Amino acid sequence: MSEKLNRLKEVLGEVSDIGHAASVLGWDQQVNMPPGGGEARGQQLATLGRIAQEKFTADEVGILLEDLKKEFSDPDTDEGAMIRVAARTYDKAKRVPPDFVAEQAIAGTKGFNAWVEAKGKSDFSIFQPYLEKNVELVKKYISFFPSADHPYDVLLDDFEPGMKTAEVREIFGNLRPKQVALIKAISETRQVKDDFLNRKYNEKKVWDFGESIITKFGYDFSRGRQDKAPHPFETTFSVNDVRITNRYETGNPLATLFSAMHESGHAMYEQGVNPAYERTSLESGTSLAVHESQSRMWENLVGRSLPFWEHFFPGLKKAFPAQLDGVSAKTFYKGINKVEPSFIRVNADEATYNMHIMLRLELEIGMVEGSIAIKDLPEIWNAKMRDYLGVTPPNDALGVLQDIHWSYGSIGYFSTYALGNIVSAQLWEKINKDIKDLDEQIRKGKFDALLAWLREKIHKYGHKYDPQDLIQKATGSRIDSAAYVRYLTKKYSDIYGL
């Protein structure tokens, strides 16, 4: 039997190597590639993807998995978990015909191009037929799978293994009225100052300050690096080579700091996975929501907290004395936490962010169920924006066309962002019970106990447990928004004197 296990590991190792090679090519494409390189790079990535798919979906792998499932049936062992996760991925890969994957890719490219034009002209009607096609294909994708409690479950499962639409609805349903009420209460108080955030900050100094922060966090530069790219992201080539990218926007110069913290959160998760899981189905973080819980925790619960800036603000002020003249740590803290309902999700503050997600989830479910006609999306979008945030997008570009995801047919992804926020607060409460003086430690710029906790309770497990099980194991309960509501309420009560 160990011979079969070894053979499976051999295949999984090869597939992982190819996937990581593709990640290097993808990273290079964003970070280094000269303009001419695009066409060949696309071909190289397509070839690697096809080979990995062929190797992984070979009938031999299916037979191996069937045999091994019986032998290693205990999901609490590494072997059992490895086979369970590989078998699930195998089943998914086998259900979707290669021709369909190709069709979806082509529709995605066409959709993306139409979306770019539509967004440029702020005219949803240009994108509408392509989105209709994308949704049609998503429905076909769902049809390849056994019928679920809700068709949207199939999509969700690709990003959050085991998560159900009903669960997400319940979690969001509990959260929504409380978050709406909080936003309303804040809107009735006096707004905080943040003009000092819009001054001119030297790019290199901001970049270096960000690197000094994430070095203190524990992001290991001997097993990673930070480069400039059009968008911040994290990418994994192995547990010992986990890179992040970042950017500098003149209109929002200190965003670079928060992006560095965010991406380092993803990266520390990847750097902390049990090295024994390398080149198996257990490598890497377990789901997008759990991943996002890590990035959001370092960005928001740590990086937008008062203790954090009590430690770092003097250094920042030393680097930017003119820009921060007369600004105190507390004023700075309030400024970076300013709540202001706005049109664009990616610029949203912590208090309003989730509302953008809930809106998208409802629209996605409606599209998949067929209860929402694509042509009606702009109108429904704007109505919900008024409902949740009290603002009305003046045009489609600032409304329904803002996100890239639907353009290439990605539906099912958005809720992981909000779930990540929710999980981050849930973990945070538990961590603060286990590390009594965490605030004190952060105020001293010490993060080792925090990172050690995350390593031990989350990171090291990689893909071993599904997200709900992992959160249950770490906190004693399944994903629940109560902690997040408590966190937001306490934070903004302090900032806005509610």
Residue 122 engages a copy of itself in binding (rule: CB under 8 A): no
Catalytic residues: 263
163 φ/ψ angles, rounded to the nearest 5 degrees: -75, 140
To a copy of itself, the closest distance from the beta carbon of 56 in angstroms equals: 13
# residues near a copy of itself by CB under 8 A: 40
Q: Does 215 bind a copy of itself (CB under 8 A)?
A: no
Q: Which is nearer to a copy of itself, 31 or 148 (CB)?
A: 31
Does the protein bind a copy of itself through residue 431 (CB under 8 A)? no
| Nearer CB in complex with a copy of itself: 279/304 | 279
HSE-CB at 409 with a 13 A cutoff on CA atoms is 25
x/- mask, a copy of itself, residues 242-261, rule CB under 8 A, reads -x------------------
- Per CB under 8 A, contacts with a copy of itself among 450-469 are none
Cα end-to-end span (Å), the chain: 64
Tell which one of 8, 12, 48, 365 touches a copy of itself (CB under 8 A): 48
Cβ 93 to a copy of itself, closest distance in Å? 18
- Side-chain-side CA neighbours of 301 within 13 Å: the count stands at 29
Helix 288-296 with 467-475: angle, nearest 10 deg: 40
Q: Vertex 408, ends 366 and 262: CA angle to 5°?
A: 90
Residue type, 391: V
* Residue 319 binds to a copy of itself (criterion: CB under 8 A): no
When binding is defined by CB under 8 A, the residue of 80, 216, 237, 482 that contacts a copy of itself is 237
Site for a copy of itself contains 105 (CB under 8 A): no
Quick one: 21 or 435, whose CB is closer to a copy of itself?
A: 21
* CB under 8 A, 24+ apart: contacts of 232-238: 232/259, 232/260, 232/262, 232/263, 233/30, 233/263, 234/263, 234/266, 234/267, 234/270, 234/295, 235/23, 235/26, 235/27, 236/20, 236/23, 236/270, 236/284, 237/20, 237/23, 237/24, 237/27, 238/20, 238/278
Q: What SS3 class is residue 228?
A: strand
Q: How far is the CB of 164 from a copy of itself (least distance, A)?
A: 36
User: Binding residue for a copy of itself (CB under 8 A) from 123, 132, 220, 429?
Assistant: 220
Helices marked H in 57-123: 59-71, 78-95, 98-121
Residues 273-312 that bind a copy of itself (CB under 8 A): 278-279
Q: Does the footprint of a copy of itself cover residue 25 (CB under 8 A)?
A: yes
A 10 A CB-CB count for 259 gives 24
Nearer to a copy of itself, 208 or 249 (CB): 208
Q: Which is nearer to a copy of itself, 31 or 372 (CB)?
A: 31
The smaller minimum CB distance to a copy of itself, of residues 36 and 230, is found at 36
Could you say whether residue 107 binds a copy of itself (CB under 8 A)?
A: no
Which CB, 39 or 99, lies closer to a copy of itself?
A: 39
Cβ burial 198-236 (10 Å sphere, 16+ → b, else e)? eeebeeeebbebbbebbeebbbbeebbebeebeebbbbb
| Binding residue (CB under 8 A) for a copy of itself from 32, 189, 392, 477 | 32
Q: In the set 8, 9, 12, 18, which binds a copy of itself (CB under 8 A)?
A: 18
Contacts by residues 347-351 (CB-CB < 8 Å, ≥ 24 positions apart): 350/300, 350/304, 350/421, 350/488, 350/491, 351/179, 351/182, 351/183, 351/186, 351/488, 351/492
Strands 226-228 and 241-246: parallel
Spatial separation of the C-alpha atoms in residues 263 and 292, rounded to whole Å: 9
Comparing CB distances to a copy of itself, the nearer of 170 and 241 is: 241
Q: Which of 108, 210, 218, 224 binds a copy of itself (CB under 8 A)?
A: 224
Task: Decide if residue 223 touches a copy of itself (CB under 8 A).
Answer: yes
Name the minimum Å distance from CB 217 to a copy of itself.
17
Residues that bind a copy of itself (CB under 8 A): 13-14, 17-18, 20-22, 24-25, 28, 32-37, 39-41, 43-44, 46-48, 51, 220-225, 227, 237-241, 243, 278-279
